[in-house]
Amino acid sequence: MPDTTCHMSISLDGFVAGSDQSRDNPLGKRGREVHSWHLGDERATDADATAEGWLMRPRGAYVMGRNMFGPIRGEWDEDWDGWWGPEPPYHAPVFVLTHHDREPIEMQGGTSFHFVTEGFQAAYAQALQAAGEGGVDIAGGASTVRQALAAGVIDELTLDVVPVLLGSGERLFDGVQSFEFEPVEVLHSPLATHIRYRRAR
């Protein structure tokens, strides 16, 4: 079966997003700083370009949390179809964890958003079926990744460790009891240390 992957940028103090996510701050306050290696104006290196290639490689399906899909909470009372404009970068089915039913959304470029109310395992099962040989990616955010780690479904985890301290926000490993991965590749740049882990067998 193809690998299930996850690729997250993280601050030195363990945050993958800042506090107070909103339309004006999709990644929370200062959250964009943990993505400076591929979104910022600073000069990226070959290591950053390689890691961006890992991040953007095509996958057969994706699983993400509602907080990553957008800032709306509660019932779907707004016409919201994600942060990414008419053609999101996924080009595949995306299964969004939510507590509120919503009809699927078809976007340009092959991305479709499907809203799953039965929990992580149900979303992951649907993603596996949709992905075929393309593999599944756990796209985030922190809560969804924690659920994937607890379920033991991630085969390859990549962390871009960025030399900033956010102080608050969404911690990636809160409540995670064990880390059953070993590093297989490390790339360095002034903007981030990119560590690719594989599940220890």
Fold of 4-19+28-72+87-199: Dihydrofolate Reductase, subunit A (3.40.430)
In this prediction, residue 26 carries a pLDDT of 87
* pTM: predicted TM-score of the whole model, two decimal places: 0.95
CB 181 within 8 A of CB 197: yes
In this prediction, residue 89 carries a pLDDT of 95
Q: Domain ranges for the chain, please list them.
A: 4-19+28-72+87-199
CB 21 within 8 A of CB 143: no
Residue 22: name the closest of 31, 33, 11 by CA: 31
In this prediction, residue 9 carries a pLDDT of 98
In this prediction, residue 201 carries a pLDDT of 77
User: Average pLDDT for residues 57-62, to the nearest whole number?
Assistant: 97
- Evaluate the CA torsion angle 90, 157, 169, 48 in order and state its sign: negative
- Per-residue pLDDT reduced to its tens digit, 16-41: 999 988 888 888 999 999 999 998 77
Phi, psi of 117 (to 5 degrees): -105, 0
- Per-residue pLDDT reduced to its tens digit, 61-119: 999 999 999 988 889 877 889 999 999 999 999 999 999 999 999 999 999 999 999 99
Torsion angle defined by CA atoms of residues 125, 132, 181 and 56, in that order, rounded to the nearest 10 degrees: -110
Q: What is the mean pLDDT of the chain?
A: 94
Quote the Cα angle for 46-28-112, to 5°.
75
